[in-house]
Amino acid sequence: MAENPTPHFQNTDGHSEIEIPVKKFKCIGAYPPHDHPHIFLDMGKNKNIVCPYCSTKFTLNETLGARETIPTNCVVEQ
């Protein structure tokens, strides 16, 4: 079992941008049953990436804690 599972983020509230604390993650869109295919995204050398399914822009914010986002409540508890 992996010690650091890939974090999952959601955008049920339809934000145009979400700040997150990691560069590698999964976007699920909205909470099920309104989710899109869960897609692994990697910012690579960039500081942001746009999900090709829901068009949410995810921006790296290294000052956030592991379970924090701006706006709040976009982490999917696993």
Domain parsing of the chain, residue ranges: 8-76
pLDDT at 12 (0 to 100): 97
pLDDT at 76 (0 to 100): 95
pLDDT at 3 (0 to 100): 63
Beta bridge partners of 56: none
pLDDT at 78 (0 to 100): 74
pTM score, two decimals? 0.93
Architecture in CATH for domain 8-76: Sandwich (2.60)
Give the CA-trace dihedral at 64, 68, 71, 72, to 10 degrees. -150
Cβ atoms within 10 Å of 49's Cβ, excluding its own: 19
pLDDT tens-digit series, residues 1-47: 456 789 999 999 999 999 999 999 999 999 999 999 999 999 999 99
